[in-house]
Amino acid sequence: MNISLKPEAQRFIEEQLKAGRYGSPDELLDAALTRMMEEESAGIEDATLAAIDESEDQIERGQYQDWKRVSAELRAKYSGK
pLDDT in tens, the chain (81 residues): 888 999 999 999 999 999 999 999 999 999 999 999 988 877 777 888 899 999 999 999 999 999 999 999 999 999 875
Residue 73: name the closest of 63, 62, 81, 64 by CA. 81
Q: Which domain holds residue 14?
A: 7-42
Both 53 and 34 in one domain: the answer is no
Both 38 and 51 in one domain: the answer is no
State residue 62's pLDDT score: 93
Report how many domains make up the chain. 2
Both 51 and 37 in one domain: the answer is no
State residue 81's pLDDT score: 59
Residue 1 lies in a domain: no
CA distances from 57 to 8, 53, 60, 63, 76 (A): 47, 6, 5, 9, 28
Both 51 and 63 in one domain: the answer is yes
What's the pTM? 0.50
